[in-house]
Structure 1
Amino acid sequence: GRTDHQLKLRGHRIEAGEVETVLTRHPAVLDAVVTVREDEPDLPRLVAHLLAAPGAEPPAAAELRALAAGALPGPMVPSAFVVMERFPLTDNGKTDRAALPAPPTALEEAPDRVAPRTPTEEVLADIWEEILHTTVGAEDDYLLLGGDSLRALHIVSRANDAFGVSLTPRDVLVHRTVAALADLVEEQVLSELEDAARGDSDHDER
């Protein structure tokens, strides 16, 4: 009986009702409302506002992302979740989607998070945290943190400037942890150093 709202996100058509139905399969979710928000200029994202089931602990964002990712295409997986006591209503008693609050920017800390272990991981984790607005561990999955292809573009721009490498957004989407991306960065840096040393050696021989 859910009324679908069709949304557009970076060229993708998204039936909000499909996403909401999947999220309400979680035993701790009583109801869900999904919207596209642009709280940061030029960075639209899919956000889910939720009502927790009576007596239930608020569901963890990672659980909800995993649930959505298992049933929906990537563009339909929300990148942020907001648990509320009640939804704002319009004068005629319907959910007032325009009055839903922005997701908080406070960083979440998971108890089992693996801290960055190398200088490269530390720099990359800082970049991810600034772009994704959440605490990032060395082994956290980029997509489950709410990352997408547009944010990957911002991340590689910052990382390429920081390390002098040539990462692409696809590298972030394939190497989906800080640790894996750090390995790729270090491989590129080492390869460039070896190429430079080989060039110097060839020049000396001549």
Structure 2
Amino acid sequence: MNINGLKVPIPSGSLNIAGGVAYRENPDAEFGFDQIFIPPTDGTKGVYSTPIEVPGGIFGLGIPFPGGLTTIKATVEPVALPTVDAFQLGVTLPARLKISNPLLGGNCYLGSASNPIMFKLGVSENGVLEEVPGFPDTAAVRNVTHADQTFAVPGASGCGLFGALNWAVNLRANVPSSSGHNSLTTTSDVFNIGADSLRTQ
């Protein structure tokens, strides 16, 4: 991920999206139907993420400090259900980034429910199609490259007491950052499994 020059590597397994896709008839849609994402019933919106450490920490210098005071971690949190295209393997994810550091409190974010970061990940490089033993109607596509260079990143909110450190997070993260100054590239394994296969397991 690159936010206006701030580059953040994304470790393998940091973000997973899982759920069902149902089809609703819509004569005005391109193929005559809409794809509706159905999340699990665990309150996650079908998005599972782990904190990602921001290189350089709070000062951008990578200088360690007792108690982790200079460490910054960012976690992708969905603010609404993602949109999943099971045919084109695309994903649109309205999200916010939770910024974690002992000095910033527990409510520091880039983006919000009313002003989310809109990741629109389309396939930029096709992966390798594989079979999954035991699931005859399954498409497993390995190493699919997704990319988005259109999303904007809002300024910080809720950082420090009464937002007193919003300015510091904005300075460190180079935000607000408009569309065209940011990018995200991911490599994913995508699994499409027919509902009938799952019902028999």
TM more than 0.5: no
Name the structure, 1 or 2, with higher relative contact order (CA <8 Å, separation 6+).
2
Q: Which TM-score tier does this pair reach, normalised by the shorter chain?
A: under 0.3
Give the number of the structure whose alpha-carbon radius of gyration is greater: 1
Bigger proportion of residues as strand: 2
* Structure holding more helix per residue: 1
Q: TM-score, normalised by structure 1?
A: 0.24
